[in-house]
A and B are shown apart, each in its own frame.
Chain A
Amino acid sequence: MRDFIIRRLVYAVPTLIGISIITFAIARLSPGDPIRLFTFGIKDFTQEDYLRLLHAYGLDKPMPLQYVDWVTNIFRGSFGESLIYHRDAFVMLMERLPNTLQLALVALLIQLIIGVPLGVLAALKRGSWVDGAIRIFGVAGHAVPAFWLGLILIILFAVNLRWLPSIGMLTVGHDQWDIADRIKHMILPAFVLALTGIANYSRILRTETLDVLAQDFVRTAHSKGLRERTVVYVHALRNALIPVVTALGGILAALVGGALVIEQVFSWPGVGQFTFQAAIAKDYPIVQAGVMFTSTLLVLSYLLRDLTYAIVDPRIKVG
């Protein structure tokens, strides 16, 4: 097991190198000069000052050397200073991380709580209208543009019914620890973010439960005279739940990526929204920090998925 973990960690290194090259290239090769942006509007800014700054930030070196500098600085814990806020980019990103995590975890929970039972239900009621409805939902949930659903829900619940707040994380002026207020703000974005996952889990669990129910040990359990409920919940479901773990990697990717759009629609002050706004403003250090950080998170979550999968399913060769 230890070897397995170490090998997987080593595999992640070239991936992270690749990601860092892409991140660096997108930001640095894009049109627009960071120094010009940085110093925009400063009076008496001469060409000489420009060259001095260029040199000070190491931007006059050849690209490969700049890349090495950038990576070295990351290992020193610095992505550089934001061009707009003049604060450390990574620190600013970390300030927004709890907000994104909150949203993603609640969405993950909603996915499991709704998606898994739906899939099992569909399998147990196979062929009935319940099954049909859940199957159609399983496809439809993927096909809805999430941002649009968010808008429709805002129009319905925030604008017309006035039940829920439309944007932000807290009501302005409220106590930060007002949990009820926080939950109210979270319901809509978390549900919209969860939708794809709910559809995903319901599909996976349906197929998987049907597969398991057709296996010999389930027939044995039946023939032993066990009650239907015991067969389904004790024998079948345990095995059907394995893919919940395998699907986690893709679902986390969808959560992280999807969060960006949802955060934007609901003005949720998270990592995605922050990175996106920075990209619009061409605040390179924040963009680089944002992409690098979320990508690392994603690679780590793939890693975690593989590990849990190896633990849950002993048939996977470890080593």
Chain B
Amino acid sequence: MATTTATVGVLAPPSLARPSRSLWSNAWWKLRRDKLTIGAFIILLVLGALSLAAPLFSDYVFHYRFEQQDLLHTYEKPTFENPAYLLGSDEIGRSQVVRLLYGGRISLTVGFVAALVNLTVGVSLGLSAGYFRGPLDDAITWVITTLNGIPQLYLLLIIAALWQPGPLTLIVIIGLLNWTGISLFVRGQTFALREREFVTAARTIGAKDRRIMFRHILPNVLPLIFVLAAIDIGAIILLESALSFLGLGILPPTPTWGNLLTNAVSYFVRAWWLVVSPGVLIFLTVLCLYLIGDGLRDALDPRLKTH
């Protein structure tokens, strides 16, 4: 690396020369200048922190529990006078803002946990298929094309309708269905990487398959997996909200952004604000995740042309 720096130093004016950086520090250097991505990241962190601290907010700020009812104050319009009704109240006088905070916990957890399952399945299957090829690859590819052949939402809705899974099962099901995109990507990358010289070199000095896969190939795929993960979490949050909205996801009384919407639909002529706020939160969260995905892609992929 020292020689490269030296050459650059000679060729370029001193002001343009910068020390060589690793992929990660280079990415961080680029990312810090990307205001949109940083902004999205901050908003997401704030949303996450607010949801995480939901019990604190309900106890100390709003003085209102999420299941607390007040039949004298139903369909309250959003108001600053009573903090609990900052975003209005529903048909039995529950505080919309407190319920949204609690709902965020579920919606975000579902997104992150299911995405983790997705990543585990997708990366391990994609890596094996791309590395070992042959019959194993054929089998995995078959599973992928099959799963891709069924419209995702159809499959999920029908499983949910016929089997009526609980929240935990639902997370696992989403996790086990949604990994095909990640897997295809990792498979393609592994296909190309396993032919590279450094892999041959590793094999020559006697490295085992597992070592080559996890120490030599995976680190090269990893950066873009983070990009896919950010987008994946967003997609799952959308999916869960659609499921909950259709009455098949996580069921009341546990509030989620999706089922808050389902509930609001029944009363939207009287209280339209109940429809607006959960949707805005879903939109904002997913938008931030997608922006972060885009920003990470720009920062992490050195080959990418910067338009």
Closest residue of A by beta carbon distance from B156: A257
- List residues of chain B with CB within 8 A of the CB of A61: none
Cα–Cα distance between A27 and B290 once the two chains are bound (Å): 35
Are A148 and B269 in touch, CB under 8 angstroms? no
The interface bits of chain A over 246-257 (1 if a CB of B lies within 8 angstroms of the residue's CB, else 0) are 000000010011
Residue pair A272, B154 in contact (C-beta under 8 Å): yes
Can you list 30 pairs linking A and B with CB atoms under 8 Å apart? A14-B145, A14-B146, A15-B146, A18-B142, A18-B145, A19-B146, A19-B150, A23-B150, A26-B158, A27-B158, A30-B162, A126-B307, A143-B234, A145-B242, A148-B275, A148-B279, A148-B282, A152-B275, A152-B279, A155-B275, A253-B151, A256-B151, A258-B153, A260-B151, A276-B246, A279-B162, A280-B161, A287-B162, A298-B149, A299-B149
Q: Mark B278-307, 1 if CB is under 8 A from A, else 0.
A: 110011001101110010000000000101
List chain B residues, Cβ under 8 A from A295: 149-151, 154
Q: Which residues of B contact A257 (CB under 8 A)?
A: 151-154
Q: Do A15 and B149 touch (CB < 8 A)?
A: yes
A286-317 vs B, CB cutoff 8 Å, 1 = contact: the mask equals: 01001100110011001000000000000000
Known: A139-B287, A143-B283, A291-B150. A275 touches B246 (CB 8 A): no
Nearest to B272 among chain A residues (CB) is A155
Question: In this assembly, does A113 line the interface, its C-beta being within 8 Å of a C-beta of chain B?
Answer: no
Which residues from chain A contact B153 at a C-beta distance below 8 Å? 257-258, 260-261
Report if A159-B158 is in contact (Cβ < 8 Å); known contacts: A19-B146, A22-B150, A253-B151. no
* In the complex, residue of chain A having the shortest beta-carbon distance to the beta carbon of B36: A136
Interface 0/1 of B201-235, CB less than 8 Å to A: 00000000000000000000000000000000010
Contact with B along A128-160 (1 / 0, CB 8 A): 000000000001101111111101100100010
The minimal Cβ–Cβ distance linking A38 to chain B, given in whole angstroms, is 16
Q: Given A22-B146, A258-B153 in contact, is the A279-B279 Cβ separation under 8 Å?
A: no
Q: A139-B290, A143-B234, A261-B153 are in contact. Are A148 and B162 (CB under 8 A)?
A: no
B159 located at the interface, meaning its Cβ lies under 8 Å from any Cβ of chain A in the complex: yes
Q: Is A282 engaged at the interface, CB distance under 8 Å to the other chain?
A: yes
Which residues of chain A are near B246, meaning CB under 8 Å?
Answer: 261, 264, 276
Nearest neighbor of A132 in chain B, beta-carbon distance? B36
Interface size range on A against B: 35 or more
- Say if the beta carbon of A71 comes within 8 Å of chain B: no
Contacts of B276 in A (CB 8 A): 152
Instruction: List A contacts of B142 (CB < 8 A).
Output: 14-15, 18
Q: Which of A18, A32, A302 has the most CB of B within 10 A?
A: A18
Minimal Cβ-Cβ distance residue in A for B261 = A148
- In B47-97, which residues have CB < 8 Å from any A CB? none
B155 at the interface (CB under 8 A from A): yes
The CA-CA distance from A31 to B146 in the complex, in Å, is 24
Further 5 A-B residue pairs, CB within 8 A, beyond A291-B155, A295-B151:
A139-B291, A140-B287, A253-B151, A272-B154, A279-B162
| B116: Cβ under 8 A from any A Cβ | no
**Nearest Cβ on chain A to B170's Cβ, whole angstroms:** 15
**Interface majority SS on B: helix, strand, loop or mixed?**
helix
CB 8 Å contact bits of A185-207 with B (1 = contact, 0 = none): 00000000000000000000011
Q: How far is the CA of A131 from the CA of B45 in the complex (A)?
A: 28
Would you list which residues of chain B between 227 and 273 have a CB under 8 Å from chain A? 234, 238, 241-242, 245-246, 261, 265, 268-269, 272
Chain A residues lying within 8 Å of B199, measured Cβ to Cβ, are: none
A22 contact set on B, CB distance < 8 A: 146, 150, 155
CB-nearest residue of chain B relative to A160?
B272
B8 CB within 8 Å of chain A: no
Q: Closest A-chain residue to B262, C-beta based? A: A147
Q: Is the CB of B162 within 8 A of A32?
A: yes
Contacts A126-B307, A261-B246 given: A143-B286 contact, CB under 8 Å?
yes
B157 within 8 A of A: yes
